[in-house]
Amino acid sequence: MRSSVRLLAAVSPTRPSKLRKPTISLDHFIQRQRVISFWREIVRSLYSDQLNVSEEIPKSPTRDELRDYARHEFERHRNVTDLQHIRYLLSTGKSEFEMMKRYIDEQAAG
């Protein structure tokens, strides 16, 4: 028992753990959840034909391009930490996505 106490006493409490991620603020957490929700919305719209949802993007090279573009944009801005910039990226991303969906719907209808 004493050897385990010595072992615990020898561990430095100031040494950072490799497993522990830095804590984020509540605002960052909320924005992160909104970004994840937006990503899920994009994926659901792209692959909704498997879910029988009426708002789907038909199978086409355009759908693959849209997925690749969205993934690239999310990866490109992965390390942004400024809340105002995150909000800006989220709002512009949503408007771009809606515009692309409208364009694809017009192409499919006409």
Report the pLDDT value the prediction gives residue 10, as an integer from 0 to 100: 52
Establish if 50 belongs to a structural domain: no
Q: Which of 50, 94, 72 is nearest to 58 (CA)?
A: 50
Q: Which structural domain range is residue 95 located in?
A: 65-109
Distance CA 99, CA 110 (A): 16
Query: Is pLDDT at 110 greater than 80 in this prediction?
Result: no
Establish if 43 belongs to a structural domain: no
Question: For 53-93, what is each residue's pLDDT tens digit?
Answer: 445 566 677 778 888 999 999 999 999 999 999 999 999 99
| Mean pLDDT score, 14-28 | 78
Establish if 100 belongs to a structural domain: yes
Establish if 105 belongs to a structural domain: yes
Establish if 4 belongs to a structural domain: no
Establish if 89 belongs to a structural domain: yes
Which of the pair, 97 or 108, is modelled with greater confidence? 97
Establish if 10 belongs to a structural domain: no
Q: Band of the pLDDT at 24, cuts 50, 70, 90?
A: confident
Domain count, the chain: 1
Report the pLDDT value the prediction gives residue 71, as an integer from 0 to 100: 94
